[in-house]
Amino acid sequence: MRWSCWLSACFVSTCARQVPSPGVYCPTSGDGRACAAVPSVRACVVAAENNLPTSEALCEHAWRETGSETAMVAGARYALDEDRYETLRRWAVRAQPTIEGARVLHFWGEAERFHGDLRGAEDTFRRVLGLRLDRDPARAVNTALALLDLVQSTQPAEESIELARLAWEQAELNKHGLQRAYAANQLVELLVDLGELSTAAVVIERMDASQPQSFRALRDGAKGRLEAARGKTLTSIELLKRASRPRPDDPGGRFPLKDTIELTQALVDDGQVGAARRELDRALGLVSQNRIGSRDVDCRLAAATASVELAEGDIEAALATVDRGLAIPSRDSARVRLLNIRGDALAHAGQPIAAERAWQEAADWVERWRESIPTTQLRSGLVARQRHALEAWLESTGTRGDAEGALQVTQRILGRELLDRSYQREVNAPATADASIRDVQNRLVVRRELSVTMMGTRARKDLRALRHDVVAIMSGARSVWAIRRAHGRWSIKPVGDRETVRSKVDAYRGNIDDPGVAAELGDALFPVDTLPEGGTPLVVMLDRELSDVALAGLRVGGKYLVEHAAILEVLAPDLAFAPVPDRAWGPSVVLGDPRGDLPGSVAEAQAVASEFGVRAVLEHDAARAVLENSGRARVLHVGAHSEIKDGRAAFVLSDGVFSTSDIVRRKIAPRLAVIATCRSQVDDDPAASLVAAFLAAGSPGVIGVKRALDDVDGTPLMLDFYRFYHRHGELDPVRALALAQRLAISLHRSPRAWATVSFFGVGGWIQ
């Protein structure tokens, strides 16, 4: 066999075993062996199975004598294996809209792709997919995956998502384990490109690792991509090495090729340039041995080649390879990779302005990619996954001292998931473990939400219009930058190189009570001469990797940051312009200790309820229905455990969980939500952060906890907050929290008892 279609060789049974369609010469209801028992048909099948030179003549004779589609399939398969293009064309012309006809057409589509007629192959596979969904659903997955491979780099993301979903769900219905593994592998590749890492992990768990080598190799390849996306390079390299070995079930070498390309990039990222060159040479050898028609593979291979050339110091070769790759009509992931490498190569060549243009073009392409994704659920992780261009662009603007350019990048990075949910409050699947597969399916379903979310994006405010002091702490490619408006002027300055700042952050996380550690990080992030004067609040926006820094407990100029200014954290720049809604709010709701294991929460809830003149809802009464009915409460106070499963956060209540999906879907949007639970704010993703979920649902203000907070230690702070809240009026809860934290400082309470609590919300609170 010189060449074989990469899916059919694995999934399609031997030609002689197919069921003839009604109306052919041998219309038996068996498995086709009766038809193959006709001497001429049997001779055709045997010859084709053994790749005998007489196969073509024998099958042609059998078909003319009997009209048997068994002979047609056998002849077409032989023509495909032996690359007899015109012979296969004749079989394709004869194909009828039957199960066997669909097989012949599928072979023809593979041949068209092999010979470079990608448009023709795409049209053929679309025709076959319609036939198979109607008449041969067990094999529809084969055609969906073949079509996906053709369109994922040329068509808008919507079609790739739909084909990947169709192939995976169709394979889930079948009993063919290898078929399911191929479909899952392709789906994981798409999800990883989109940044849907938690969803990809769920799909990988469905891939059976106990099966033979071919199964394990597919799973290793999928997991290797996921680990690379998570930044676990060494683990990724080991998985991809196993996955990229030649496999008898993939004679075309397609999956080993793709895994080898990913392995090459992982080795470059780890600095193993020599090993990367060896893997690249192996990938190029696979391409020369097996002509594989795929623009996406061609572009990814070009990107890997350019990466190796750049790592070897051959900048001219890298740029030339990128230009060849960009000449291929591709889009999305492959194109973003190539543009990023162009920017990196130009930067190495000492052309910073040209490099910045390349990174900006890559960032613009990510935006177009987002706009082509029809559901906000699958848009959420894309910017985080494809951040290289944005970080490099930010680094370039910072180096030039271009604060306005840096603001553009900041607005593209921060709060995108939250804004998507805010503009389109969608229905999500439950975030429970037993519903994880339904959740994946729900996230893949194509919905038309573009008009709403894109309208919101086009209406975004210009950050330069802000009139209060604000600082955005952002991570660039090499440095951490502070973009701030202080004393009426915008500026951008480096905080320090990224690794140094990260080590200071880690030290602070590890010992928040250490004043020296708090001062080292605080003085770096918030120089005292940049802080507001006269009691003016400070608006802070933090990049994702800094989002859990407990700002109030940082020390600046010998004092805690919260002693200098009340702090309002804004998770998405647009929220800095949003007002506090003026509406008739309902009674406050206080919920505590749903599972009966937080004694401090009981006392806290009772005291808070007394402040508002309402009854505290405690223990077994603290159920889902309470939160479901609190959407318009003036204040919602929740003292409960929280959890994160499959990338989704949730309150743990007496009768189950109440997830971030429930919060957004049911529009639980009190005027002020106080979440007295550990790690209620993780980042700006409304799926993983309870705080972000309330903001996405429409709450103007949320008090959340960034890290661990003991229920006993946290109670005094909460009670002091509510006293100041009532004493100073409800219009300034930002100041009320700052006063409560300052009181805790004056009483010598340790920072772990108050510093991890922050106020998140809209700019309307301080205007």
Give residue 424's pLDDT band: very low, low, confident or very high (50, 70, 90): low
Residues in the chain: 767
28-32, 143-147, 315-319, 711-715: which has the highest mean pLDDT? 315-319
Per-residue pLDDT tens for 696-752? 999 999 999 987 766 556 788 999 999 999 887 678 999 999 999 999 999 999 999
- Chain centroid, CA 441 distance in Å: 15
Using CA atoms, how far apart are residues 572 and 550, in angstroms rounded to an integer?
18
pLDDT digits (tens, 9 = 90+) for 630-678: 999 999 999 988 888 777 889 999 999 999 889 988 999 999 999 987 6
For residue 601, is pLDDT > 90?
no
What 3-state DSSP class applies to 756?
A: coil
Task: Give, in degrees to the nearest 5, the angle at Cα 453 between 448 and 459.
Answer: 150
Q: Tell me the average pLDDT across 312-320.
A: 97
> Given pLDDT bands bounded at 50, 70 and 90, which one contains residue 129?
very high
Return the minimum-mean-pLDDT range out of 55-64, 210-219, 328-337: 210-219
The predicted pLDDT at position 30 comes to 39
Find where tokens 């048909």 sit: 41
Our separate counts of H helices and E strands in the chain read 36, 16
At 710 the pLDDT is 64
Distance, CA of 83 to CA of 756 (rounded, Å): 67
21 pLDDT band (50/70/90 cuts)? Answer: very low
Tell me how far apart the alpha carbons of residues 537 and 765 are, in angstroms, rounded to a whole number: 10
**Largest Cα span, the chain:** 100
6 pLDDT higher than 80: no
Judged against a pLDDT cut of 50, whether residue 13 lies above it is answered with no
- Residue 278 amino acid letter: R
Compute CA 54 distance to the chain's CA centroid, rounded to the nearest angstrom.
52
Region 440-467: what's the mean pLDDT?
Answer: 61
Confidence grade of residue 329 (pLDDT, cut at 50, 70, 90): confident
Position 16 scores a pLDDT of 33
The tens digit of pLDDT for each residue in 338-368 reads 999 999 999 999 999 999 999 999 999 999 8
Q: Does domain 210-456 have CATH number 1.25.40.10?
A: yes
Please tell me the predicted confidence (pLDDT) of residue 676: 82
Helix (H, G, I), strand (E, B) or coil at 332: helix
Tokens for 385?
A: 């996954």
Helix (H) or strand (E) holding 559: strand 559-560
Taking the C-alpha atoms of residue 240 and residue 279, their distance in angstroms, rounded to an integer, is: 11
Could you tell me which of 138, 133, 151 has the C-alpha nearest to residue 97? 133
State the pLDDT at residue 8.
Answer: 42
Write the CA distances from 504 to 472, 494, 496, 541, integer angstroms: 18, 15, 10, 18
| Strand 656-659 versus strand 648-653 pairing type | antiparallel
Phi, psi of 622 (to 5 degrees): -80, 75
pLDDT for res 691: 93
User: pLDDT at position 501, please?
Assistant: 97
pLDDT digits (tens, 9 = 90+) for 90-128: 999 999 999 999 999 999 999 998 888 888 999 999 999
CA distances from residue 192 to 186, 201, 226, 674 in whole angstroms, order as listed: 10, 9, 6, 34
The predicted structure's pLDDT at residue 213: 66
Q: How far apart are CA 713 and CA 752, in angstroms?
A: 8
The per-residue pLDDT for 498 is 96
Angle between helices 213-229 and 177-194 (to 10 degrees): 10
* Across 412-441, average pLDDT: 63
pLDDT (0 to 100) of residue 679: 63
Beta bridge partners of 642: 651
How high does pLDDT run on average in the chain?
Answer: 85
Separation CA 586–CA 626 (nearest Å)? 13
Residue, of 465 and 128, whose pLDDT is higher: 128
Counting residues of the chain whose pLDDT is more than 90, the rounded percentage is 57
H helix runs in 551-592, sequence order: 561-564
Contact assessment for residue 623 and residue 594, using Cβ atoms and an 8 Å cutoff: yes
Average pLDDT for 521-547: 92
Instruction: Please state, in angstroms and rounded to a whole number, the distance separating the CA atoms of residues 388 and 760.
Output: 28
State how far the Cα of 402 lies from the Cα of 590, in Å rounded to an integer: 47
In the prediction, which pLDDT does 702 show?
Answer: 96
Question: In the CATH hierarchy, which fold is given to the domain comprising 576-766?
Answer: Rossmann fold (3.40.50)
Find where tokens 């196969």 sit. 55
- Residue 326 pLDDT class (50, 70, 90 cuts): very high
Tens digit of pLDDT for each residue in 357-412? 999 999 999 998 888 887 777 777 888 899 999 999 999 999 999 999 999 999 99
* pLDDT tens readout for residues 485-533: 988 899 999 999 999 999 999 999 999 999 999 999 999 999 999 998 8
Element (H, E) at 287: helix 273-289
pLDDT tens per residue, range 180-199: 888 888 899 989 999 988 88
The average pLDDT across 236-240 equals 96
pLDDT band at 446 (very low <50, low <70, confident <90, very high): low
pLDDT tens-place string over residues 54-101: 999 999 999 999 889 999 999 999 999 999 999 999 999 999 999 999
Instruction: Read off the pLDDT of each residue in 122-135 and give the average, rounded to a whole number.
Output: 92
Domain residue ranges of the chain, discontinuous segments joined by +:
8-115, 210-456, 463-535, 576-766
Global pTM?
Answer: 0.85
pLDDT at 1: 33
What six digits make up the tokens of 203? 């799909």
Residue-wise pLDDT for 580-592, tens only, equals 998 899 999 999 9
- β-strand pairing of 648-653 with 479-486: unpaired
pLDDT for 169: 84
- pLDDT at site 556: 97
Measured CA to CA, the distance from residue 41 to residue 59 in angstroms comes to: 7
What's the pLDDT score for residue 373?
83
Percent of the chain at pLDDT exceeding 70? 86
